Amino acid sequence: MVNNGHTIQADVANGGVIEVDGVPYTLVQFHFHAPSEHTVGGKRFAMETHFVHKSAKGELAVIGVLHEAGDANEALAPLWSALPNTTEEKKPLAKFDLASVLPADRSMYRYAGSLTTPPCTEGVRWQLLQSPTSVSDAQVKALNAIIKPNARPIQPQKARDVLKEALAKLTANR
């Protein structure tokens, strides 16, 4: 894991593959935003995790997991015990089950969007899981003590189509 000054990012080797519309994407990294960068029904959440995947052609697909204020997220505990405190500080990624961060209900919103950090490259296939998991106030404060609130301003939907569907073709392979 690395503190890159904007977020805490975990680079992943052999993180598994998802399939989106028949195209395989390999997990390359995941990172955190507090507060969330997405809203649902105008509501922003306490935190959001982005699982960034890349295809053989270099195209990106991101799974977003929303975290609402509530109980501590036990799946994140191994990571939170080793958050890198200073910019460019690197710490070994604690072993944990990536799937444990995902909610049990895998229904999602899908849309074509962009990266949320500059240069905000378009063409990203977003899968935002509809059911949030919990995160404690202490966990959010621990992240924000290291990284200032790092959410991109809410963007207008414009003509962007947002599809709501069950998680059918998005399957993890280990």
Active site residues: 6
**Residues with Cβ < 8 Å from 7, sequence gap 6 or more?**
31, 32, 33, 147, 150
CA distances from 4 to 72, 89, 121 (A): 25, 8, 19
Say if CB 48 and CB 67 are below 8 A apart. Answer: yes
How far apart are the C-alpha atoms of 119 and 96, rounded to whole Å? Answer: 31
End-to-end CA distance of the chain: 20
DSSP 82: T
Say if CB 50 and CB 31 are below 8 A apart. Answer: yes
